[in-house]
Amino acid sequence: MANAPETSILSYFRDARFAVLLFLIGALMLAVPFIGAVDIRGKSGLPEITLGLLFGSMLLSAAYAAARSRASRIAAWCLLAPLILIWLVDLATGSVAIARHLLGIVFVGYVILLIFGHLFATERVTVNTIAASLCIYFLIAIVWAEFYSIMEIVNPGSFIVTSGDTPDVPLQVGGEGTAMALYYSLVTLTTLGYGDIVPKTAPARMFAAMEAVTGQMYLAVLVARLVGMHIVHSRHWTGEPDNDDRGQ
């Protein structure tokens, strides 16, 4: 009987796993600009270490939340383990940034697919379902921020900062430009387009356009499905017949 409360708590967090993931993603987004404002780069590496720990916590939570079967859990950990290793190597040497971003894209992309599978397998809308759909939206922004980071490494100056106090900081997740990369990705995904950061090269412009299209398609398709699931569940709960049943 003494273990009943603990089991209940563990069960609660298991059921609310996407809400926990959403909280961690939100905390990461809000904490990044304040961590980046600590101007001690090259002295202790504290901003990079702190950002790495935050990203690591978010990725661990994502792996736990999205992986439901034994096979998906094994696959998630097989993708996460080399990502953590590469991040440690890059933190020490700074020579494998592209590999780190590529592994980040692969892992987060896999998590997005797993959450999509959960959303299309569920039969009714709950708070956890809504949290899962929001997690996908933010994770898409993180994936595109990783793409922009690779572009900036391969072709420095792919993006131009037209305003602000950090015009020389590159858009790159994991360093001083983490806040800028995430900010630009979110602004592009939501099609706000403030114009304070603009793509300079043709690949950068095309990727920005594709992210904007992805954001609109996601909202149109998935949100419509959630609304449809809610309507069907409501009719089933109240016993109201569907349109097809009414015509018979």
DSSP codes joined into one string, 133-170 = HHHHHHHHHHHHHHHHHHHHHHSTTSEEE-SSS-TT--
Q: Can you tell me the distance from the alpha carbon of 100 to that of 82, in angstroms, rounded to the nearest whole number?
A: 9
**Token pair of 161 as six digits:** 């900062």
Q: Can you tell me the distance from the alpha carbon of 200 to that of 186, in angstroms, rounded to the nearest whole number?
A: 18
For the chain, 248 residues long, give each residue's pLDDT as a single digit of tens.
444 444 555 565 667 888 889 998 998 888 888 876 665 444 556 667 777 788 888 888 888 888 878 888 899 889 989 998 998 888 788 788 899 999 999 999 999 999 988 888 877 778 888 888 899 999 999 999 999 999 999 999 899 888 766 666 777 887 778 888 999 999 999 988 888 889 999 999 999 999 999 999 998 888 777 777 767 666 655 555 544 444 44
pLDDT, residue 167, reads: 60
Q: Can you tell me the distance from the alpha carbon of 195 to that of 193, in angstroms, rounded to the nearest whole number?
A: 5
pLDDT, residue 2, reads: 47
Q: Where are the domains of the chain?
A: 4-237
pLDDT, residue 243, reads: 47
pTM of the complete model: 0.84
Q: Can you tell me the distance from the alpha carbon of 56 to that of 81, in angstroms, rounded to the nearest whole number?
A: 11
If 0-12 CB within 10 Å is exposed, 13-18 middle and 19+ buried, where does residue 168 land?
exposed
**Token pair of 197 as six digits:** 């950061």
Q: What is the dihedral of CA 121, 124, 129, 134, to 10 degrees?
A: 90
Q: Can you tell me the distance from the alpha carbon of 109 to that of 115, in angstroms, rounded to the nearest whole number?
A: 10
Check if the beta carbon of residue 211 is closer than 8 Å to that of residue 144. Answer: yes
**Token pair of 58 as six digits:** 């978010």
Q: Can you tell me the distance from the alpha carbon of 53 to that of 70, in angstroms, rounded to the nearest whole number?
A: 26
**Token pair of 213 as six digits:** 């299209």
**Residue 164 to residues 145, 155, 160, 169, 188, Cα–Cα distance (Å):** 19, 22, 11, 11, 18
pLDDT, residue 128, reads: 84
pLDDT, residue 17, reads: 85
Of the candidates 144, 105, 116, the residue with the CA atom closest to the CA atom of residue 18? 116
Q: Spell out the residues 6+ positions from residue 180 whose beta carbon is closer than 8 angstroms to its own.
A: 161, 166, 169, 171, 197
